[in-house]
Amino acid sequence: MIINRSIHLRTSIKPGDVEAIISLHGTIYAQEYGFDTTFEHYVATPLRQFASSHTLREKLWVVEQGGSIKGCIAVIKSDEATAQLRWFLLHPQLRRKGIGKKLIHEAVLFVQQQGYVSVFLWTVNLLERANRLYRTMGFQLTEEKTHMLWGKELTEQKYELVLEH
């Protein structure tokens, strides 16, 4: 799928994608929020597992520009009725262009098509712009917990969206 002339969105996983996505997460979150290397491990383990064994009810969208990965989002199965959004990230140069909204829209549409009843995601309070986007897309904040995470004291937030079928 072409977002514009230079930005493409694909759902196939290619060799090198997993490590590029892990690296992008580690680099951006360290630069923007001061997360330590444990965050990369938090991304790496489930992402590698997803890449090797995802089901038809799960999907990864990869944003590419100039042959480089610049963002992603995934839907993973939590249980038969519930999906989870994971690994939502956009390179700073691609933000504020409607691409993040497009990614979430595509993911939620897929969740509906797969017959899930609800979808949730975990984030942290520092990600204010993303959290505003989640609320704009209909997600409700349902849980918060503060603890040491990725080298910082952070408040994790759970957002949920109950789908209409």
Q: CA-to-CA distance for 119 and 55, rounded, in angstroms?
A: 16
Is the CATH number 3.40.50.1000 carried by domain 7-162? no
pLDDT tens digits for range 2-30: 566 788 999 989 999 999 999 999 999 99
For 163, phi then psi, to 5°, come to -90, 150
Task: Find the mean pLDDT for residues 104-125.
Answer: 97
Question: What is the number of other CB atoms lying within 10 angstroms of the CB of residue 119?
Answer: 24
Tokens (6 digits) for 145: 């917990």
Tokens (6 digits) for 124: 């942290």
For 5, phi then psi, to 5°, come to -55, -35
Give residue 132's pLDDT. Answer: 94
Model pTM score: 0.92
Tokens (6 digits) for 70: 């610049």
pLDDT tens digits for range 39-79: 999 999 999 999 998 889 999 999 999 889 999 999 999 99
For 124, phi then psi, to 5°, come to -125, 155
pLDDT tens digits for range 77-111: 999 999 999 999 999 999 998 899 999 999 999 99
Task: Find the mean pLDDT for residues 133-140.
Answer: 95
Length of the chain, in residues: 165
In 3-state terms, what secondary structure has residue 25? helix
